[in-house]
Amino acid sequence: MAYGCSVQPPSDDVPPHGPSGHRIPVVEGANAVQLDIADEVDDDPVEPPPPTASILDLHSDGSIFGEMSADAAEATNGDGRTQRRTRNRNAVITAVLELMRAGEMEPTVAEIAEHAGVSHRSVFRYFHDFSDLVRAAIDREVRDALPLAVIADVGEGPLEKRVDAFVDSRLKIYASTYQVGRVARLRSAAIPEIDDGLRAISKLMRLQLRNQFDPELSTLDPDEAEFIVDAIMVLVSFESYDVELRIFEHDDEHIRLVWRAALLGLLRR
């Protein structure tokens, strides 16, 4: 699926290929997310994306946070003999996500098995270890939520309208993934694939930010523009949302007003 319009070229520090060597365009336009990847790779050469398309490192199985284990890949092949395994694997991932959304930052294997309706032993029939399971759950949550980040008519209209659309988009995706997002950041120090995935998503969101406010940023000295982009990235980060919501106990409407005022102040310099 693809959304959006024109986009600036990706920065040089974004590698053009994922670990499997596949180049997967995910920004086809200012904020598009394209995550539909063929299950099989044809022998025919793949046309490279246009030079203005950015990329998000995806693995050969289409995951953001690292490739699934061999057992998991076998369980998703679609063979009739493995359909029950596939259903059980999906049930385990769903159970993990539901427990995380309920506030369980570190659900136990026993809790997961009971919630999924499978045996304790079968939980690891589909995953290499507990980190592999957590990574698969976070991957699904993020992929399902990415369309919420889409902004219509990126970079068009008056500044106030673009600020409102940008803030609303960030609030939607953070609210949707809040509990799982906290787990992802907690686990990222111990699971490199999660850390790498979060970095890639941050680069994608930075590209969207630059395009949304290009009318203002393009009038500034490049160093000053980068300063403003850095400030906005910190201001509307997940960590900022977490502090406002959990520590300051503000609701989304209050956060929206704070972010809106701060962005207008930065961009009207």
> How far is residue 177's CA from residue 180's CA, in Å, rounded to a whole number?
5
Q: Which residue has the higher pLDDT, 120 or 51?
A: 120
Task: Give the domain range for residue 251.
Answer: 148-267
Beta carbons within 8 Å of 111's beta carbon, 6+ residues apart: 99, 104
Number of domains into which the chain is organized? 2
> How far is residue 14's CA from residue 225's CA, in Å, rounded to a whole number?
19
> How far is residue 110's CA from residue 163's CA, in Å, rounded to a whole number?
45
The reported pLDDT for the residue numbered 180 is 95
> How far is residue 27's CA from residue 49's CA, in Å, rounded to a whole number?
10
135, two tokens: 């990574």
Residue 33: is its pLDDT beyond 50? no
Pick the range with the lowest mean pLDDT from 32-36, 59-63, 137-141, 207-211: 32-36
Section 15-34 average pLDDT: 38
Task: Identify whether 55 is part of a domain.
Answer: no
- Residue 109 and residue 184 share a domain: no
Q: Per DSSP, what are the bridge partners of residue 27?
A: 54
The reported pLDDT for the residue numbered 37 is 25
Residue 248: is its pLDDT beyond 50? yes
Q: Which residue has the higher pLDDT, 5 or 30?
A: 30
- Residue 123 and residue 153 share a domain: no
- Residue 226 and residue 170 share a domain: yes
- Residue 170 and residue 99 share a domain: no
> How far is residue 74's CA from residue 228's CA, in Å, rounded to a whole number?
47
Q: How far is CA 43 from the centre of its chain?
A: 30
Q: Which residue has the higher pLDDT, 147 or 264?
A: 264
- Residue 154 and residue 106 share a domain: no
Task: Identify whether 39 is part of a domain.
Answer: no
- Residue 184 and residue 111 share a domain: no
CB 25 within 8 A of CB 55: yes
- Residue 194 and residue 101 share a domain: no
The reported pLDDT for the residue numbered 261 is 98
CATH of the domain at 76: 1.10.10
- Residue 190 and residue 155 share a domain: yes
The pTM of the full predicted model, rounded to 2 decimals, is 0.71
The reported pLDDT for the residue numbered 146 is 86
The reported pLDDT for the residue numbered 48 is 31
Task: Identify whether 112 is part of a domain.
Answer: yes
Q: DSSP letter string over 132-168?
A: HHHHHHHHHHHHHHGGGG--TTTT-S-HHHHHHHHHH
- Residue 199 and residue 105 share a domain: no
Pick the range with the lowest mean pLDDT from 80-94, 110-124, 181-195: 80-94
The reported pLDDT for the residue numbered 230 is 98
- Residue 198 and residue 249 share a domain: yes
Kindly report, residue by residue over 160-218, the tens digit of the pLDDT.
999 999 999 999 999 999 999 999 999 999 999 999 999 999 999 999 999 999 999 99
Beta carbons within 8 Å of 150's beta carbon, 6+ residues apart: 3, 4, 31, 32, 33, 169
Task: Identify whether 75 is part of a domain.
Answer: yes
- Residue 203 and residue 161 share a domain: yes
Cβ neighbours, 10 Å, residue 8: 13
The DSSP output letter for 39 is S
The reported pLDDT for the residue numbered 124 is 85
- Residue 153 and residue 122 share a domain: no
